[in-house]
Structure formats: structure tokens, C-alpha cells
Structure 1
Amino acid sequence: MSRLPVIVGFGGYNAAGRSSAHHGFRRTVIESMSATDRQETLASLAILMKLVTFSAGQYHDHDGQPLDLAALEQRFGAQILASTLVRRIEKNHLDVDAAPWQKNLTVTGPAGKPLSFITLRKQLPEPLPSDWTVEALNDNDVQVTLYDGCDIKVDSYRNLPVKSAGQLPTGFEPGELYASRFHPRGLQMTIVAATDALRSIGLPWQTIVDQVAPDEIAVYASSAMSQLDENSFGGLMQSRLKGGRVTAKQLALGLNSMPADFINAYVLGSVGSTSSITGACASFLYNLQKATDMISAGKARVVIVGNSEAPITQECLDGYGAMGALATEDGLRQIQSQEPGAQEQVDFRRASRPFGQNCGFTLAESSQFLVLMDDELALQLGADIHGAVPDVFINADGFKKSISAPGPGNYLCMAKAVASAMQLVGEDGVRLRSFVHAHGSSTPANRVTESELLDRVAASFGIADWPVAAVKSYVGHSLASASADQLISALGSFKYQLIPGIKTIDAVADDVHRQHLRISQVDVPRTEQPLEVCFINSKGFGGNNASGVVLAPQVVERMLRKRYGAERFAAYEAQREQTRAAAQAYEQQALQGQLEIIYNFGHDLIDDQGIAINGEQIQVPGFNQPLVFDKTSRFADMLD
């Protein structure tokens, strides 16, 4: 009997803000939220952005004036909305109007005469070029004469063609929330996002640890682009060219496995299974497949799975821009000029345009994590269940002409996902109560190929009017974290029975296939046929295709009632109320700015000498349950 991987916690941060309690989802559909939900989400963002403080049971502006939620919205609402989601790149990342670079310059003396200059002796290159002569002026200074001239590099600045990105809310700096000395931005985001996911569970982490063996906890997380800022690979690669030195931390902290390593070492203190799988832009689903397989097979009972990506760097913009993959200022201006009431000023908030007239995708930063448990442990602990992930399918493209072009593998994984869901919820469950969170990268190629894929799959399974959402229209493309952004948005749709519209497009492009699809530009509430299944679709450079099946909590509850019986499920529901109350307590603290970041640097180190080993088990200090050796003979038929 397979164990069902259920989602008991989720959290993180992206351009929409904090993910726990569905705040990130609410920001994307804020026009469709109730006044209370809207104002609470604005307050959550105001705290992150340091626009307000909270004390004595009240929000205050920086002048100390008290603000209730309505006043906070009136005072800061427009500013908050303008400073979240996709927008013009802000200078805390880089100045896109004056990005630094080095210009090659050839210098020679006047009319072919030698060129002389004075410099410090210690600044002379080693060895000296053959056409240089050096004359000492004093103990420190020398005069250099060049007979053939030389090439030098001079600091310069240039205007970047790409000017938009999905950035964390303006003013929110994750590294300020804990002792983040020398941590790359992607790892700062990992620490605060993993904390958010763990706090959202509503159960103390130690309570969970005490119920499972040390090797029944797992962490699967990665970053597709590794860490690329000055504290990691960026600084490592640039240091000698800038005349600096490599630090002891830059290489190690740059590795793409560091999100998982940081969670194990500084958040959980886990000794369980760990892995960092990358599949380009489908990396989250690759890690999620590993998580669901381990839980279903009984090899893990609790898994933290997610990704962290911080790619808003000049190098990433240059690299993806050179491929013609990113939406440029000129490209957006050309699209805008063809729209009714066009303005000369480019609207960077609408840079990401899935399934509409578009010119490339929009890079984004995001860190998102899920906490999964097997269904039995969730019932035992009274965990709140936000959904389940029974299957994730992955397929390659076969032979390829272009490594970045889409291919046939997505047909395989998406069709398998739909077939799998029909086995769980029935044909009507899929045909009437499912929707798709498309990859929706906002490139001209994707809008054609992915829409054709989805349209053909829908036709093959008798789906007449398949709703399609595309969260990248709000938060941009966060590469490894992109499908995590999609899944967490899907949980919001289950909670509020609302499918986000693609509001950054004026119309669906003429070349989009949609005979069996419904692509809306407004939020679509589900008053009838409540949503039960979401298909998360993802494509990545190199032929990395993945599609996941996510079940709504009401579907999971039906399944659990059938597996465990009405009496046990009723007892679980009673126990779950305490968990929900604890999760709500964290939510109230977070709304007040008390995020309680978990960062255990150098705490509770395990003494190797304290590990007790015998022929039956290992007892690890700090863990309540022993690690019992599995003595099941898997190959009994092959042994004497």
C-alpha cells in the first residue's frame, strides 16, 4: 500500500511577498480578495518592506502615527502594489541605465613618440612587457616609458537592453533578518523561506523529529544557476580580473547544492537523506519527484523540498539576453505600440506576457519550500493538509537540434499526469474540476508549442474547456523555483476557489492553440464544480520536461476517510484544530514582523563519539528514535 505524500506546510518569498497563509497568492489576485484578506496581505507586505512597524498592538508609520488596516491601505496601498510583482529592475540589484563594464582602449604616444607615465613601483606588472623601460624616481614611484603603446581596460557604463525582473518587494532584504555574514543572496533567501515553510506547519519541528527515525527525514533542494553574486561564484570568477583575491567561502557557497546543505546544517540539523537535483527550469519538479517517490516507497516520512534562485545579476541578464530569450525594452515598446491607447513609456509591469503578444521571458528571484509527510504520520500528528502530490512525471526530448528549443518530452509527461489523475479522481474530476498551471514562459515559441501541447492533451482526454493559469505573468520566471511558484499559487486556488487570470495581456495571441483551452485575462471564481486537481507543467532548456499532479485538500480528505475510517478521521480533525491554531499564531506574529528566522549556526553539534552502534541499530545523539537497520531480504530469490 503506497503512502500518499501530503503537503503539511509551505512558505517562501518571491515578487508577490511571503507565501505562507497564501499571501503571495492573494497579492496576485488582490482585486478579487475580500477587504479583510486584501488589507492583511497589504499589511504583510508593508512590514516586509519596512514601511510600517508594529508595537503596542498597532501598526505605526515612521512618524509614530498609529494605523489601522484601512488607514494602512489608504496610506501605502498604491506604493505597495507598485513595489511588488514584475517591475523595473531596482538599483539594489544593478543600475540598468548605467551597468558597469570595462572598455578596451589602445593608447600610444603622440605622433609615434614614446608614451610615459608615473606609477607606484608595487603596481608594476610581473613580468614587465618587453617594450617597457622603467626609471626609479624615488623609493616608491617609477616612470614607465612605452615605445609601442599598450592596451588598457577602462571602467565604463552602458545601458542594458533588459530592464525588468520579478524582484522581492522593495525594501525587503532577507539578509537583514539573521546573521547572514558573507551569505550569497540565494542562500539568504533559502534560510528565510525554509523558516516560513516550517513555521507554517503549526507543529514544533522537534515534535515531528521525535516521531521518526533520523534517516526518515529528507531535504531535496537546489538552484539551477548556483549562486552568482559577489559572495559566491560571481566574486570567485571576477576577483583576479578586478585585482582582488578569492575568499575561502566563495567557491563552497556557490555550489548549487547549498540550498539543501544550508537547510540541513543551519535550519533542521538533519542527518537524513539529502539531494540537489537540477533540471534547468523544471528543477523544482525534479526535486519534488524525488520527494514523492521516497515517501510513497516508505523510505522517508518527512521531506523538505524546494528551490532558491537569485539570478538578477548583470551576468544572467547578459547571458539570457544574448540568447534572445529575455523581454527587452525595445521589444516591449514595439508590442505596446500596436495596442490600443499605446503610450511611449514602456510598462515594465507587463513585461511577462504568457500566451499574448510577447518578446521573451522575465527573470525573477524566488525561494519556495514545501513540507511533505506521508499520510499516516500526518494523521498521527494532527497536521493540517493543504493538498497532496501523488505523481510527478519527467521526460526528455530525444535528439535535439537546439538545446534551448522545446521538444516532444512534454507530451509524454503531461499525458501521463492526466491519465494518472483520472485514476484517482475519475474522468469527470479531471474534465470538470481540474486546471493547468502552465509553464507560460512568455516567449513567442512557448505560447505556440505549450498551447498546442495542452490543447492536444485536452482533446485526447475529452476535456472541453480546460482553464489555464500562468503565474509568471505576475512574478516572472525564477528558473529552478518556477514550478514551485506555480504549485504554491495552485494551493491558493484550492483555498479560495479562484483561478488567476493572465492580466498582463490585452488579448490571447492569434497563434495560440485553444480549441479546448480557456485562457482568461481576469480572475475566474469557481462557484460550481470546485477545483480538485491542478497540473503543474514545466519545461527547461536541454529537454527537461516535468508535469506534476496536485490534489486539493478536499480530495485528500475523501481518500483519508476511506483509508482510515470515519472514527479515526474524526479524531484527526479534532487534533488538527490545535495545529491550525498554532499556525494561525505564527501568521499573526508574521503580520507583526516577527518572522522568527531559524538559523542555528554551531548549535547542538553531534559528537561522533556519542553515536551508539550495534548490529541492530544506530542511536544518534539528539534524536529520540533510533535508526534501525533494514534486514528485509530484497533479493531472497537470488540467494542460497
Structure 2
Amino acid sequence: MTPSAPPARVRTPIAVTGLGLLTPGGEGAEATWEAVCAGRSLATRDPALDGLPVDFSCRLPLPEEDIDRAVGRKSWRMGRFAKLAVLAAREAVRDAGLDPATWQGARVATVIGCGMGGTEKWEEQYLRLDRHGPGRVSPLTIPMIIPNLAAGEVSIDLGARGVGLAPATACASGATAIALARDLLAGGLCDVAVAGGTEAAVSRLCVTGFWRMGALSERADAVAGASRPFAADRDGFVLAEGAGVLVLERAADAAARGARPRALLAGCGSTSDAHHPTAPPDGAHGAEAALRTALHEAGLAPDDVDHVNAHGTSTPLNDATEAALIARALPHRPSVTATKGVLGHTLGAAGAIEAALTILTLQHGRVPPIANLQAPAPEFDIDCVTKQPRPQHIRAALSHSFGFGGHNVVLAFTTA
């Protein structure tokens, strides 16, 4: 069954005028871009996970004190996930050439997705309660853990007083945030949207939970080779942390202020599988409907797509389902990359980070390789980029994001 395209809708061209990234690849969009183009996994042993069956992760290469210093005097009240969002948002706004001191804050929306929230604070404060009693629990426990405080702290930091949203669609949260921001702009509910995702869930309980459900790689003897999207011998993902934020504006507004867009967000597709809490359905018809909706909104035919930034988790079921989807919906074999091989899986931040990397791929005309992949599994009829970056002129690209609960989001980007 091929999902039918939705009715036509009025398209409002949306420009991406700013990017901000904070990932295991480094601080800033260019550092992350260089890391994914190098094509080497950033997974390492993690002392915080000592003694667990999976004791490795992809962490930011920044000491906590450097993060706190960069955030400033209010960092003490924030969970790590909120700090990362604030720093990524500041970079994105600077990159867009906007000044929060002079913009009309009531017309600036903040949409920051997060799947888990402050997991490290949950664990820390529970241990205080258990060992020392209620009086030792921080009065800021709740603000440091609830997922919407990333959006809240970004709004406060930037003086953005418009619509504020915090979508939680698991590993699609960052992409959902971008799609929602597009709708706010198209509907005239804001003039600027600061949108993306954040996550800092590398904690003992989260790692153990993902391990117990069989989602994590157990390559403890070869940590740097653990995440291997679309490989025949893939066995799970490596948990990671990070944040990605985009600044979106109506293209006409960006042009009026002389801003040069990095790319256009041409279409978005969002669907639900209504199938299972964690597993995709056979055939991935919900994901295909999201893909076809994104193309329809963008006014693109399938063979207009030159490149796909895949969700590519390195889990057996997800990669098989996604590879079959790409081969079926895009049979002309566009280039495919999956940056979780380098950065690990940042959960609620992944969709926004990968959207930013898709935009950089469009701009640079260069597709990053999939780490730890010599060739895709023989049964996958897709054109995976391996070993080294591939020069390619790209006019249109898709970024896939799929989350627990059956959330599917596909974003279509085109050159500006």
C-alpha cells in the first residue's frame, strides 16, 4: 500500500538563517561538521558508567565548568540539557545576525524539543533523598528535570516572549520542534522561531534501561566501532548528548533584512504509526506517509531528492526498516548518510542536530561518510556514503527522524 499524498496546502517559503550545535564533535556547528566529515566514531569509555554492562558513550568534549562559565551566572539553576540548549540557541541567533537586545521579543517563538529531561538530576536528587532525607533535596529539583525547561531557559535567555513549546516525541523531538516552528511562521503567529532539540541523558539509569531493552551496542571490546549504521553486524546504538538549534524566518522577512539563508525548509511530514511503543511496523507505512507529505509540501517528486540524512540508529530493526523505506520510496538511490555513527544517538536532540547537518551538506556540497561502515548489509539496496566524504551537488535533501511511540518526522530542505 502506498500512502496517498495529502491535499495541497499554501506554501510559505521558510528560510533557515542560523545554526547552533553543541555535540560530541565539539562546540559550534563547524566543529561538528568537521567531526562528521572525518567519519570516526567519538565513542569512548565513560567513568560515570563504570561497572555497568555498557560503560561507554559519546560525551561532549567540554568540562562541566566550561559549560557553566559559558552559560553564565544562571547556570546553577539549570539541568545539563537546558544549558546545552541555551548555548546552541545563542550560536544560532548570532549566526542568523539577529540581536535579542533589539528584536521584538513578543514575535519570537521558542520551540525546543527534549525526550528525557534532566535525568542526571533525577538520579542525583533521589540518592540525596534516600541517603540523607528530604531536607537535602534541592528546592530546584523540579525545574532542573522537567523537559520544557530547555525551552523556558532559552526563552528567558533570549528575551523571546512569543509562543513557547516543548515537544516530546522521543528521538523525533528536535525534528518535531522544527516542523512546529514552521507552522507557527506560516500561520503568522511569530516572525522568528528559535527551534531545535536538546538532550543530556547519559546517566546510569538511562543506559541500563536502554541496555535492558536491547537497544545499545555491547561492543565493549571495540568501543570506537560500536555504532555502525546499516552494517550487517550492527548491534545497537551508543548513547550520546548534545543540542541543535535552528533560527527560522519567512524567506521574505529574511530577504527584507538582508539575511542570506543557509537553506530553505521546503516541507515537513509528521505521522504516527499507531502500532507499538518501541518497534516500527512492517512496511513502515507511517514513515513513508511522512516522507511523501514532506515531498508534497515542498513541491518535489521523489527523484528530485539527491540526499537522505537517515535516522540510522545502528539497531537491527530500525536500520532494516529504514533501508527498505528509502529503497521503496526513493528507488533512484540518492546518497545516504547516518551521522549517529560518529556522534552517537542524542535522543531528543538528534532530529535537530541531523537537520543542521543536512543543511551543511547542502551548503558544502559534501556528504559525510557513515562511520564504521565498509558497505551496507547486502540486503539493503541503498547508496550509503562510506570511508570518506563524497562531493555532490545537492538541490534537495531529506532528514529522517523516528521516535518511540511511533512518531515519524521527515524534513525536506532545498538550496536557498
**TM-score with structure 1 length normalisation?**
0.59
Q: Is 2:397 the counterpart of 1:534? A: yes
Write the distance in 2 (CA, Å) between the matches of 1:186 and 1:236.
Answer: 16
SS of equivalent to 1:240: helix
Residue from 202, 205, 217 that aligns with 2:100: 205
Task: Name 1:258's counterpart in structure 2.
Answer: 149
Task: Name 2:6's counterpart in structure 1.
Answer: none
Give 1:406 shift: 0.9
Q: Residues 240 and 433 of structure 1: is their aligned pair in 2 closer, same or farther, counting only changes over 3 Å?
A: closer
Q: Match of 2:229, as an amino acid?
A: P
Q: Residues 28 and 248 of structure 1: is their aligned pair in 2 closer, same or farther, counting only changes over 3 Å?
A: same
Deviations 1:72-128 (A, max 9, x none): xxxxxxxxx8xxx5222333xx0x33xxxxxxxxxxxxxxxxxxxxxxxxxxxxxxx
Q: Match of 2:355, as an amino acid?
A: L
Residue from 123, 131, 149 that aligns with 1:242: 131
Contact 2:268 2:297 in 1 (8 A): no
Task: Name 1:23's counterpart in structure 2.
Answer: 31
Task: Name 2:7's counterpart in structure 1.
Answer: none
Q: Match of 2:266, as an amino acid?
A: P
Q: Is 2:398 the counterpart of 1:503? A: no
Deviations 1:440-480 (A, max 9, x none): 00001112111011111113xxxx22211101011011001
Contact 2:308 2:335 in 1 (8 A): yes
Q: Residues 206 and 542 of structure 1: is their aligned pair in 2 closer, same or farther, counting only changes over 3 Å?
A: same
Q: Match of 1:89, as an amino acid?
A: R
SS of equivalent to 1:176: helix
Q: Match of 2:384, as an amino acid?
A: I
Deviations 1:510-535 (A, max 9, x none): 34x21xx21121334335xx201111
SS of equivalent to 1:186: helix
Contact 1:471 1:485 in 2 (8 A): no
Task: Name 1:6's counterpart in structure 2.
Answer: 15
Contact 2:327 2:333 in 1 (8 A): no
Give 1:171 shift: 4.0
Deviations 1:149-205 (A, max 9, x none): xxxxxxxxxx21112222111547412322222422112212221111122123333
Q: Residues 14 and 305 of structure 1: is their aligned pair in 2 closer, same or farther, counting only changes over 3 Å?
A: same
Write the distance in 2 (CA, Å) between the matches of 1:204 and 1:219.
Answer: 15
Write the distance in 2 (CA, Å) between the matches of 1:170 and 1:259.
Answer: 19
Write the distance in 1 (CA, Å) between the matches of 2:345 and 2:38.
Answer: 20
Contact 2:309 2:354 in 1 (8 A): yes
Task: Name 1:318's counterpart in structure 2.
Answer: 208
**TM-score with structure 2 length normalisation?**
0.90
Task: Name 2:53's counterpart in structure 1.
Answer: 161
Give 1:391 shift: 2.0
Residue from 420, 433, 447 that aligns with 2:319: 447
Contact 1:222 1:308 in 2 (8 A): yes
Contact 1:164 1:351 in 2 (8 A): no
Task: Name 1:43's counterpart in structure 2.
Answer: none
Deviations 1:553-605 (A, max 9, x none): 2xxxxxxxxxxxxxxxxxxxxxxxxxxxxxxxxxxxxxxxxxxxxxxxxxxxx
Task: Name 1:417's counterpart in structure 2.
Answer: 294
Write the distance in 1 (CA, Å) between the matches of 2:214 and 2:335.
Answer: 30
SS of equivalent to 1:261: helix
Give 1:501 shift: 1.4
Show the 5 A alignment for 1:554-633.
none
SS of equivalent to 1:242: helix
Structure 2 unmatched runs, 5+ = 1-9
Contact 1:8 1:383 in 2 (8 A): yes
Structure 1 unmatched runs, 5+ = 32-80, 98-158, 334-345, 554-640
Give 1:262 shift: 0.2
Deviations 1:265-316 (A, max 9, x none): 1x11222111111111101111111100111122211000011100111011
Write the distance in 1 (CA, Å) between the matches of 2:215 and 2:390.
Answer: 33
Q: Match of 1:350, as an amino acid?
A: G
Residue from 305, 309, 325 that aligns with 1:437: 309
Residue from 346, 349, 374 that aligns with 2:224: 349
Give 1:541 shift: 0.8
Show the 5 A alignment for 1:103-182.
159-169=51-61, 171=63, 173-177=66-70, 178-179=72-73, 180-182=75-77
Write the distance in 1 (CA, Å) between the matches of 2:217 and 2:97.
Answer: 41
Contact 1:503 1:522 in 2 (8 A): yes
Task: Name 2:160's counterpart in structure 1.
Answer: 270
Contact 1:86 1:352 in 2 (8 A): no
Residue from 346, 356, 369 that aligns with 1:488: 356
Write the distance in 2 (CA, Å) between the matches of 1:470 and 1:350.
Answer: 14
Q: Match of 2:257, as an amino acid?
A: L
Write the distance in 2 (CA, Å) between the matches of 1:289 and 1:190.
Answer: 18
Task: Name 1:366's counterpart in structure 2.
Answer: 242
Q: Residues 549 and 250 of structure 1: is their aligned pair in 2 closer, same or farther, counting only changes over 3 Å?
A: same
Look at both structures and tell me which one has the larger radius of gyration over its CA atoms: 1
Q: Match of 1:234, as an amino acid?
A: E
Contact 2:107 2:160 in 1 (8 A): no
Q: How big is the alpha-carbon RMSD for the aligned residues of Structure 1 and Structure 2?
A: 2.0
Contact 1:227 1:234 in 2 (8 A): no
How many percent identity over aligned positions?
A: 24
Q: Residues 326 and 235 of structure 1: is their aligned pair in 2 closer, same or farther, counting only changes over 3 Å?
A: same
SS of equivalent to 2:144: helix
Deviations 1:212-244 (A, max 9, x none): xx53210011321011123xx333433322224
Q: Match of 2:367, as an amino acid?
A: I
Write the distance in 2 (CA, Å) between the matches of 1:531 and 1:192.
Answer: 30
Q: Residues 414 and 25 of structure 1: is their aligned pair in 2 closer, same or farther, counting only changes over 3 Å?
A: same
Q: Is 2:279 the counterpart of 1:405? A: yes
Write the distance in 2 (CA, Å) between the matches of 1:242 and 1:171.
Answer: 27
SS of equivalent to 1:86: coil
Write the distance in 2 (CA, Å) between the matches of 1:544 and 1:446.
Answer: 13
Q: Is 2:383 the counterpart of 1:518? A: yes
Q: Match of 1:199, as an amino acid?
A: R
Give 1:503 shift: 2.8
Q: Match of 1:412, as an amino acid?
A: A
SS of equivalent to 2:400: strand
Task: Name 2:4's counterpart in structure 1.
Answer: none
Contact 1:292 1:390 in 2 (8 A): no
SS of equivalent to 1:29: helix
Residue from 178, 193, 196 that aligns with 1:288: 178
Task: Name 2:89's counterpart in structure 1.
Answer: 194
- Say which is worse superposed, 169-178 or 362-371, in terms of deviation: 169-178
Give 1:2 shift: 4.5
SS of equivalent to 2:120: coil
Write the distance in 2 (CA, Å) between the matches of 1:495 and 1:10.
Answer: 12
